[in-house]
């Protein structure tokens, strides 16, 4: 397109100069005659042309028809190709979305949503984003992120995002009312969905909980708490920041102990969790009564269905998860 437009501009300049040099015409009259010739309007000669002017006009007409034809064909080709590519890309995204299972849904790709997206990409977790802002959508598509250009508060949108088969949903919209709609709709479509919602204002937290959110995150409150912690307990803040750092191979993981696991019926001190895997169990949530035991002792016995909250390297946590869920 750029080459074609440059050729058209050069053609107009050439015609204007040619007519002004061969005929007693001003630059404006020469430009008018040139544009009229290129556009094939045919209003008639501004000035009777000489023999040389007519010869130049004949050559100029043939060249201008070729250039304009090339410009039009290029524009049509580019338009058709862009439509085909866009339609193919959209169909491909819909096919990939329909195959998603046990995935996460991110509603809103703003400042908070974009951070969640990067973290899920780093953890190689399947997810889909629902966003209406075309500029953010273009950036997401360029990064090969699955995205639906829809309104996240609509039931149809959540169904198309596979909410019935999703593992979790994060509602990060900038308006509390919209987040309540998303949570309420998603909970009605999937009772087992784990929903985390953003609260812009602190008073929105109980409304989001009543709507069906499992957890509500208020960035203002959490930010103030982290600042107080960094101010009063800098060493603790540095430790938490080091765990959250992307360049440090250290992470938290929740591991559910399967009924046939080798850990069932054994005390923590008699397992390979600390000695071989070098993983620290910071808490255990009992399946029987949902009791959370922080810093369990070595005499704590592991039962089927217990959830182990562990911290360690990524490879060690993966081995722990495999052992805990594998039948002996």
Tell me: the pLDDT tens digits for 206-236?
999 999 999 999 988 888 888 998 899 898 8
CA distances for 139 relative to 144, 157, 169, 202, angstroms: 9, 20, 21, 31
> Could you tell me the fold of the domain covering 249-325?
Alpha-Beta Plaits (3.30.70)
pLDDT value, residue 94: 74
- In this prediction, residue 90 carries a pLDDT of 62
- Four-residue CA torsion sign, 317, 234, 121, 197: positive
**Dist. CA 146–CA 95, nearest whole Å:** 11
Give the DSSP H/E element, type plus range, for residue 181: helix 176-189
Token readout for 97 is 């979305």
Report yes or no: 178 and 124 within 8 Å, Cβ to Cβ. Answer: no
Domain residue spans of the chain: 2-93, 100-217, 249-325
For position 32, what pLDDT does the model report? 83
3-state secondary structure of 129: strand
Task: Go through the chain and tell me how many residues it has.
Answer: 328
Phi, psi of 265 (to 5 degrees): 85, 0
pLDDT at 107: 96
* Tens digit of pLDDT at every position of the chain (328 positions): 777 778 888 888 888 888 888 888 888 888 888 888 887 776 666 667 777 877 888 888 888 888 888 888 877 877 776 666 555 556 667 777 888 899 999 999 998 999 999 989 988 899 999 998 888 888 888 888 888 888 999 999 999 999 999 999 999 999 999 999 999 999 999 999 999 999 988 889 999 999 999 999 998 888 888 899 889 989 888 877 776 665 567 788 999 999 999 999 999 999 999 989 999 999 999 988 888 999 999 999 999 999 999 998 888 999 999 999 888 6
pLDDT (tens digit per residue) in 16-72: 888 888 888 888 888 888 888 887 776 666 667 777 877 888 888 888 888 888 888
Tokens 């009229």 correspond to: 36
How far apart (Å, rounded) are the C-alpha atoms in residues 194 and 215?
A: 8
What is the token pair recorded at 3? 């080459």
Q: Within 13 A of 230's CA, how many CA atoms are on the CB side?
A: 9
Report whether 280 contacts 310 (CB < 8 A). Answer: yes
Report the pLDDT value the prediction gives residue 33, as an integer from 0 to 100. Answer: 82
Instruction: Note the CATH number of domain 100-217.
Output: 3.40.50.720
Short-list 121, 119, 124, 189, CA closest to 159: 189
So what's the pLDDT on residue 178? 95
Q: Report the pLDDT value the prediction gives residue 83, as an integer from 0 to 100.
A: 62
Strand pairing of 251-256 and 280-285? unpaired
pLDDT value of residue 82: 65
Residues 86-92: contacts with CB under 8 Å, at least 24 apart: 89/141
The C-alpha torsion from 124 through 130 and 131 to 132, rounded to 10°, is 160
Task: Detail the DSSP E strand segments found in 37-115.
Answer: 104-107
Average pLDDT, the chain: 86
Residue 189 pLDDT:
95
DSSP code for 281: E
Confidence at residue 46, expressed as pLDDT on a 0 to 100 scale = 64
Whole-Å CA distances, 242 to 213, 238, 245: 29, 6, 5
Q: Name the phi and psi angles at 37, rounded to 5.
A: -70, -45
Laid out side by side, the sheet with 292-294 consists of: 251-256, 307-312, 280-285, 292-294
What pLDDT is stored for residue 195 in this prediction? Answer: 96
First to last CA, the chain: 66
Q: How far is the CA of 188 from the CAs of 106, 184, 185, 263, in angstroms?
A: 17, 6, 5, 37
**Does the 2-93 domain belong in CATH 3.40.190.10?**
no
d(CA 120, CA 117): 5
């Amino acid at each position: 397109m750029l080459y074609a437009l440059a050729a058209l501009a050069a053609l107009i300049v050439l015609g204007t100069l040619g007519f002004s040099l061969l005929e007693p015409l001003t630059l404006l009259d020469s430009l008018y005659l040139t544009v009229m010739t290129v556009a094939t309007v045919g209003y008639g000669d501004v000035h009777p042309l000489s023999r040389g002017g007519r010869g130049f006009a004949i050559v100029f007409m043939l060249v201008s028809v070729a250039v304009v034809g090339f410009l039009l064909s290029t524009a049509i080709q580019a338009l058709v190709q862009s439509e085909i590519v866009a339609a193919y890309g959209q169909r491909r995204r819909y096919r990939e979305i329909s195959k998603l299972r046990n995935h996460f849904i991110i509603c809103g790709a703003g400042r908070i949503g974009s951070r969640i997206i990067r973290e899920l990409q780093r953890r190689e977790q399947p997810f889909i984003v629902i966003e209406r802002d075309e500029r953010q959508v273009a950036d997401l598509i360029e990064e090969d992120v699955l995205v639906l250009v829809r309104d996240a508060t609509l039931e149809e949108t959540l169904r198309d995002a596979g909410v019935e088969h999703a593992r979790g949903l994060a509602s990060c919209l900038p308006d509390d009312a919209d987040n309540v709609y998303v949570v309420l709709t998603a909970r009605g479509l999937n009772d087992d969905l784990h929903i985390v919602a953003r609260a812009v204002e602190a008073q929105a937290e109980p409304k989001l909980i009543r709507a069906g959110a499992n957890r509500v995150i208020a960035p203002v409150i959490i930010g103030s708490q982290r600042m107080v912690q960094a101010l009063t307990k800098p060493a603790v803040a540095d430790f938490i920041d080091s765990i959250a750092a992307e360049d440090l191979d250290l992470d938290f993981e929740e591991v559910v102990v399967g009924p046939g696991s080798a850990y069932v019926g054994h005390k923590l001190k008699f397992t390979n969790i600390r000695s071989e895997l070098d993983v620290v169990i910071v808490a255990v949530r009992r399946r029987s009564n949902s009791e959370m035991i922080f810093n369990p002792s070595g005499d704590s016995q592991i039962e089927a269905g217990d959830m182990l909250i562990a911290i360690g390297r990524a490879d060690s946590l993966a081995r722990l998860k495999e052992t805990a869920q594998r039948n002996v």
